[in-house]
Structure 1
């Protein structure tokens, strides 16, 4: 099956190429505007020279069933639009765009063309977070912190906090009825952000401190007199009396731990089966992010 990887930056090299090149039945094509990079990676992964491209139109003309888009976010709308119009199913890194208008446009185009569009919210497939769904979730707290990384609000929310937003939406056990945003900015840069989502019988908190002194991600779900904690997607601690700890196995890859391998397989299986995957739910995550950005702007006036 002819599949392209478009954009060969860090995320493609560290997370996706090791997974895709190990899968049977794929006829991989690589595309980036950097000729030296595509040649180097083509040699490393033994991709035939005729399947190394520096032009999007050329890789599409070569015939594709599907594409993984890992280019910079400002290129997403243009690349995804061209692929969808060419009848190609698309997997694209989050966010679809830094503006809700661009995100909405590509989701609507995918529906018009009848093609799959899957946004790379890999945490929905991460084993630790899937296991969190086993427990009562009256209270959900997801903290995703950074060290010395204050940033403008739109970039911080759409590039990073969007994972918190989408994971909370995935884990909440009911309809979200109330949304609250609290933030602190200094000199125009976002330093911390707290999102509260609540509904019938549950509350979910998303917390990010961009000047926390550490880089970490900790999920806590509790209810029914029990609690489960997932630390950096790798370690699971259950509390009901004496705590019990499960750690990532020595031979479990980081790609599997973070759900990347699973979401890749989910997408490719849908392509092979002719099943259309919708990005409409992913768009709702983007819409909530836009709401958060607007509220941060209001609070900093």
Structure 2
């Protein structure tokens, strides 16, 4: 199966290429405008099919493509792929705006092609298994050190993972939402999102001036709690805590759900099943609302 890989930055090199090059039956075609990088990575993985333009890649007639280009380039790249009849997997977010994301989802539906957004945390083992737990209260913190940013890129590039993970984990319909934030000199420093419904509350927190880089999920209810630290350590409590760490030989891509999401997309291709991005679009819609709330509060 002929598969394009568009964009060869850190996420492609560290997360996706190790998974895709280990997958049998794939004829990988690399694409980036940086010829030196293209040849270096092509040589590293012994991949002879290399393209320095999207037109060249499309001429090779790929069945599908993984898009790891900059977010600002997603819309024109994904539009061209879908119109050419290519199924697409794209890193989050689809676009920096809800309207741009909606346009891509509608185009995928109009062309009958698959469009999958890389919300890999839904398949990370510690998070995926949390769905089996009582979840009256959900708390997800994803903090960084010294990285305040403009609200739109803060929310759509990074906080989008928090938003989507909370949407995935809530046990019912969200009927209330609220945002608190702090912005200084036009840069967003921290953000708190509250989502709630019948019997549950979910809080998403990001502090870009926290002094630490960490991601901590806690789900609790009915006298039990699960805590997942940096997607690697899982602490379950029913009275006494039980700690499980990522095994020494477990790849980071599997720990973070990237291996699983790649397999999910490829399995759908092999079975001729169309993947819809409609649910992912709801996450983009909520992110657009959050940006509006932050900008309105100043």
TM-score, normalised with respect to structure 2: 0.99
Match of residue 109 from structure 1: 107
Question: Structure 1, residues 195-224: CA drift from partner, whole Å, max 9, x if none?
Answer: 000001100000011100000000000000
Match of residue 65 from structure 1: 63
Match of residue 151 from structure 2: 153
Instruction: Return structure 1 stretches of 4+ with deviation > 3 angstroms.
Output: none
Aligned equivalents of 1:244 and 1:188: distance in 2?
Answer: 43
- CA RMSD, Structure 1 to Structure 2 (Å): 0.5
Q: Kindly state the Cα deviation for residue 43 of structure 1 after the two structures are TM-superposed.
A: 0.5
Match of residue 11 from structure 2: 11
1:218-233 to structure 2, matched below 5 A, reads 218-233=216-231
Aligned equivalents of 2:277 and 2:161: distance in 1?
Answer: 15
Three-state SS of the structure 2 residue aligned to 1:245 is strand
Q: Kindly state the Cα deviation for residue 101 of structure 1 after the two structures are TM-superposed.
A: 1.3
Match of residue 46 from structure 1: 46
Aligned equivalents of 1:180 and 1:206: distance in 2?
Answer: 11
Match of 2:205 among 197, 204, 207: 207
Question: Structure 1, residues 65-114: CA drift from partner, whole Å, max 9, x if none?
Answer: 11000000010000000000010000000010001111110000000000
Question: Structure 1, residues 99-139: CA drift from partner, whole Å, max 9, x if none?
Answer: 11111100000000000000000001100001111110000
Match of residue 290 from structure 1: 288
Question: Structure 1, residues 257-283: CA drift from partner, whole Å, max 9, x if none?
Answer: 000000000000001111000000000
Aligned equivalents of 1:192 and 1:292: distance in 2?
Answer: 13
For structure 2, which runs of at least 5 residues remain unmatched after alignment?
Answer: none
Three-state SS of the structure 1 residue aligned to 2:132 is coil
Question: Structure 1, residues 3-53: CA drift from partner, whole Å, max 9, x if none?
Answer: 0100000100000001100110000000000111111111000011xx100
TM-score, normalised with respect to structure 1: 0.98
1:236 corresponds to 2:234 = yes
Aligned equivalents of 1:140 and 1:113: distance in 2?
Answer: 38
Match of residue 131 from structure 2: 133
For structure 1, which runs of at least 5 residues remain unmatched after alignment?
Answer: none
Aligned equivalents of 2:53 and 2:210: distance in 1?
Answer: 41
Match of residue 178 from structure 2: 180
Q: Kindly state the Cα deviation for residue 173 of structure 1 after the two structures are TM-superposed.
A: 0.4
1:21 corresponds to 2:21 = yes
Three-state SS of the structure 2 residue aligned to 1:167 is helix
Match of 1:270 among 268, 271, 274: 268
Aligned equivalents of 1:285 and 1:294: distance in 2?
Answer: 14
Q: Kindly state the Cα deviation for residue 185 of structure 1 after the two structures are TM-superposed.
A: 0.6
